[in-house]
Every structure is written in structure tokens, then in C-alpha cells.
């Protein structure tokens, strides 16, 4: 039976791809990059949460991302919900 566990690298790759689809160049996206630097706004974060929901079935409320300011923090939030 295949494992349902998802690696940190897989989640990171999906998030980076989703963010790149929202505007910034993929090369600009780093774990320490702020959403402000990447010109990602709250509506973009809602779209990002929808990608996570479609990919892994994890739902977020808009408030969940209220205090998330960097790509790394978003990654940590998603990983925390997976465990």
C-alpha cells in the first residue's frame, strides 16, 4: 500500500508553483521572501489556500493566513495542518 505521507519538499514545490502562478517569477520565491516582496495580497493567499485544499483536502479560513508574512511561514502552516 502506498504511503500517504507527503514530504516537506513536495509541499514546498506545490506552494512555490502556486505562488509563481500568482505573479512572481519562480526564481524570486524563497522561504524567507515576504508576501509583500512578492506582491502577493490577501486575495492571492485565499487562492493559495484553495490550491492546498484541492491538492491535499486541507481547508483554511482566511484568518489562518492573517499573521503569515513569509513563504516559509505559509509552508509551516500547511505542514502543521497535515500532521
Residues 20-68 have pLDDT tens digits of 999 999 999 999 999 999 999 999 999 999 999 999 999 998 789 889 9
pTM of the model: 0.90
How many Cβ atoms are within 10 Å of 44's Cβ, its own excluded?
19
Give the chain's domains with CATH numbers.
Answer: 8-82 (1.10.1200.10)
E-strand stretches of the chain: none
Q: What are the CA-CA distances from residue 70 to residues 3, 8, 20, 29, 47 (Å)?
A: 29, 16, 14, 10, 16
pLDDT of residue 34: 98
pLDDT of residue 4: 59
Amino acid at each position: 500500500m502506498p504511503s500517504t505521507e507527503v514530504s516537506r519538499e513536495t509541499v514546498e514545490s506545490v506552494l512555490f508553483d502556486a505562488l509563481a502562478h500568482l505573479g512572481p517569477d519562480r526564481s524570486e520565491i524563497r522561504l524567507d521572501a515576504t508576501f509583500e516582496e512578492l506582491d502577493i495580497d490577501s486575495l492571492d493567499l485565499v487562492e493559495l489556500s484553495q490550491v492546498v485544499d484541492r491538492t491535499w483536502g486541507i481547508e483554511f479560513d482566511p484568518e489562518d493566513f492573517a499573521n503569515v508574512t513569509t513563504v516559509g511561514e505559509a509552508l509551516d502552516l500547511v505542514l502543521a495542518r497535515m500532521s
